Amino acid sequence: MLFFLTQVWYNKTILKMKVGFNFMLSREYTVASSDGIHARPASLLVSAASKFPDTSISLTAKGHDVNLKSIMGVMSLGIGQHTRIIISISGDDEQAAMDSIQDVLIKNRII
């Protein structure tokens, strides 16, 4: 059984999904940086995600899903400007992890 609760947060979509007994927090963004997500911003995102070892964090772009804690996975997506990305998080620290990753995206002008 799948339930969706959607609300808007600063023009970004927040989805709170219930799948069985597991919850997942997802947000969709559009990459604004003309350089896209190259090595430096990718390493900053991976570093932020890695601070939450008990939380599953994925990045989806161009129809592919990778572990956000893997620099090779993130770089393999080749995310350019105007690419829509989805960050999905499940685990105990969902909100803290999402806030941390979103801070990296905003402070480094990725979105």
DSSP E strand stretches across 2-105: 2-9, 12-19, 22-30, 55-61, 64-67, 84-91
Query: What is the C-alpha to C-alpha distance for residues 15 and 79, in angstroms, rounded to an integer?
Result: 22
Tokens of 28: 């969709």
Cβ–Cβ under 8 Å, residues 97 and 55: yes
Q: Which residue numbers are catalytic?
A: 38
Give CA–CA dist 40/47, Å, rounded. Answer: 11
